[in-house]
Chain A
Amino acid sequence: MTLKQFGSVNVEVDDDGHLANGAIWSEDLARDIAKEEGIESLTDRHWLVINYMRKEFQAKGDAPSLRKLTKESGVDTKELYALFPKGPAKKAAKIAGLPKPKGCI
C-alpha cells in the first residue's frame, strides 16, 4: 500500500493506483482524482457513469467492464471514451473509488 495525493488529501492506494479503502470516497475526492486523471470537471454525464459503476460494484462486487457499461449505463462507447479518455472502464472506476475491474487488462 502506498500513499498518493489527490488535491489536498493523502490517501492509501493499491498497486493499480486505485483507492485502497473505498469507504473514504466522497464526491469531492472523486473530483480530485478526476483532475489527476486529466479531467478538469465532472459533468452530469460523468456522474451518471460514476453512480452506475458504484451501484454495480455494490451489487456484484466488481466494477463493470467497458462492454457492460456500454450496454447498461445508457452511455455509449464513443461518449464513454470522450468522457473518460483512454480506458474509460478503468478511469471511471478509479474516479468512482472502486478497484480496477477484474476483467480489465
Chain B
Amino acid sequence: MRKLVILGAGTAGTIMFHKFHSSLNRNDWHITVIDGDENHYFQPGFLFIPFGIYKKRDVIKPKRSFYPRGSDFIMCAVDRIEPEKNRVLLNNGAIIPYDYLIIATGSRVVPEETEGMVAGEWRKSIFDFYTVDGACALAELFKDWQGGRLVINITEMPIKCPVAPLEFAFLADWYFSKRGIREDVDIHFVTPLPGAFTKPRASQLLGDFLLKKNIGVTPEFAVARIDNEEKRIISWDDAKIPFDILVTIPTNMGDEAIARSGLGDELNYVPTDRQTLRSESFENIFVIGDATNLPSSKAGSVAHFQSDILLENFMSIVEGRQPEARFDGHTNCFIESGFGKGVLIDFNYDMEPLPGKYPFAGIGPFSLLEESRINHYGKLLSRWMYWNLLLKGIEIPLDSKMSMEGKRL
C-alpha cells in the first residue's frame, strides 16, 4: 500500500484530493490529508465584506464538508516535513510517513514583518482585508465612516491575488459614491510596482480606471515602516504618505512549517519546477497553489489549472516514466471594477493579458481586458462554482493551457 500525503486542505489541496481520489486505485494507495484549521475560506470573497456585499458566513464552510466520509483527514497543524526521511511531523507528536507528498500549504499575510503595522493603530486606523477578521473590522468602520484620506498600500510583492488591492480601490469609489460621500473620501493607491499592475496592457487599462475614478496613484513606493502617531507610511527612501485610514496588504509569505522544514526560500515558498510542478530538491514531492515559488500569480484559478498537470505528472512518475505534462503559467482573474461591472484577464508565463472573449473565442460570454456587466456576474458566479463544483471535484471544462484563440495582439 503506497502512501500519498497532501499537506493543506485549502483550494489546491482539496482539488488535488478529489483528482487523486478518483484516479488512484484504493487497493494500492492510501491518501492522507492534513490541515490545522477547521475552516475553509473563500478568500476572493473577503474583498466584498468591507462593502457589505458579503457577510462572514458567506465565505466560510467547514473543511471536512468537502471530503467524503471515511477519508483520512487529520485535523492538526504541521510542525515540519523531514524530506530526507519521507515523513511529516505534526504538532501533536504524530509522525506521518509518505511515499509521495503534495505540498499545498498556501500563503498568508504577515503584518508583523513591517515595523509599525501591528502597533497602536492596528484595526483602529490600519486594516487589512486579506483575513476575514480584518475584512469584518473594515465593514464595521465603513458603515459609519464620514470620510477622510483612504490610503490603500501594497507592502511587498509577490502577493496572492495581485488585482485585489485595485478592486478594493474601485469598490471603495463605488461604495462611497453610493453613500453620497465620495467627495469627502480621498482615495489613494500606493504600490511598489512601477504601475497599476505588472503586465503592460492590463496596467494601462487599470491605470486609466484609477484616473477616471479619481483615485490617486503613487507607484514605486516600498513601505519601510508605519508611523502610528503621525499616521503616515514611510518608504525606504524616506518618502511619506499621510492617511486617515490605511488599508494595507501586508507581506505575503508561505507557511511557517515550510521554513521549519528547511524547504522554503526567503519568503517560505518552495522552489518548484515551473513546468512539471515537482519540487526542485526532492523527487517524491510536488507543490501546488500559493505554496510554490513559481513566477505565475498566486490565485485559485492557477491551482485549478495546475491540478491536471500535476495529476498527469504524478501518474507518470509513480509508473516509472518521465513527467511530460507542462504547466504554462495559465491564470485568469475577474477584476471587480465597481458599479456592477468587471474585467476579465487571462494570461500565462509568456503572454500578458490580451483582449478577446472567454472561454469561447468570438463568443464569450466573458470579455477579456474589457469592462462588462457579464464579467461582474461571472465574479459573483465564481463563488457558487467554487463551493459547489471546484471543491467537490466536479470537473469544470476550462482548458488548463491558456488559449490564444480569438485574442487580439
- Listed in ascending order, the chain A residues whose CB lies under 8 Å from chain B are 65-68, 71, 77-78, 80-82, 85-87, 102-103, 105
User: What residues of chain B have their CB less than 8 Å away from a CB belonging to chain A?
Assistant: 156-158, 192-194, 198, 220, 222, 224, 236-237, 265-267, 295
Given contacts A65-B266, A102-B295, A103-B158, contact A78 B224 (CB under 8 A): yes
Report which residue of B224, B236, B295 has the largest number of chain A beta carbons within 10 angstroms of its beta carbon: B236
Given contacts A67-B266, A67-B267, A71-B266, contact A103 B295 (CB under 8 A): yes
* B contact residues around A102 at 8 Å (CB): 295
The closest CB in chain B to the CB of A69 belongs to: B266
Q: Is the CB of B237 within 8 A of A105?
A: no
B194 partner residues in chain A, CB cutoff 8 A: 105
> In angstroms, how far is the closest chain A Cβ from the Cβ of B401?
22
A85 to chain B minimum Cβ distance, whole angstroms, is 6
**Which of A66, A77, A102, A105 is packed against the most chain B CB atoms within 10 Å?**
A105
What residue of chain A has the Cβ atom nearest to residue B192's Cβ?
Answer: A105
For residue B237, which residue of chain A has the nearest CB? Answer: A81
- Chain B residues within an 8 Å CB radius of A78: 224, 236
16 further contact pairs, Cβ within 8 A, besides A66-B222, A77-B224, A81-B237: A67-B156, A67-B266, A67-B267, A68-B266, A77-B236, A78-B224, A78-B236, A81-B236, A82-B237, A85-B237, A86-B220, A86-B237, A87-B220, A103-B158, A105-B157, A105-B192
A105 touches B193 (CB 8 A): yes
Query: How far is the CB of A49 from the nearest CB of chain B, in Å?
Result: 15
Q: Using Cβ atoms and an 8 Å threshold, which residues of chain B touch A80?
A: 236
B379 to chain A, nearest CB (A): 25
Chain A residue nearest to B253 (CB atoms) is: A67
Min distance, Cβ B227 to any Cβ of chain A, angstroms:
15
A2 to chain B, nearest CB (A): 17
On whether the beta carbons of B198 and A105 are closer than 8 Å, the reply is: yes
| A66 → B minimal CB distance (Å) | 8
Q: Determine how close the nearest CB of chain B comes to the CB of A65; give it in whole angstroms.
A: 7
Q: With CB as the reference atom, state the residue of chain A lying closest to B293.
A: A103
Closest to B154 in A: A105
Contacts of B198 in A (CB 8 A): 105
Q: Which residues of A contact B236 (CB under 8 A)?
A: 77-78, 80-81
Question: Bound complex: CA of A78 vs CA of B224, how far in Å?
Answer: 8
A contact residues around B224 at 8 Å (CB): 77-78
Distance in Å: Cβ of A74 to nearest Cβ of chain B: 15
Q: Within 8 Å CB of A85, what residues of B?
A: 237
Nearest chain A residue, comparing its CB with the CB of B194: A105
Q: In the complex, which residue of chain A has the Cβ closest to the Cβ of B238?
A: A81
The 4 closest A-B pairs by CB, nearest first: A81-B236, A68-B266, A67-B266, A105-B193
30 A–B contacts from the bound complex (CB under 8 Å)? A65-B266, A66-B222, A67-B156, A67-B266, A67-B267, A68-B265, A68-B266, A71-B266, A77-B224, A77-B236, A78-B224, A78-B236, A80-B236, A81-B222, A81-B236, A81-B237, A82-B237, A85-B237, A86-B220, A86-B237, A87-B220, A102-B295, A103-B157, A103-B158, A103-B295, A105-B157, A105-B192, A105-B193, A105-B194, A105-B198
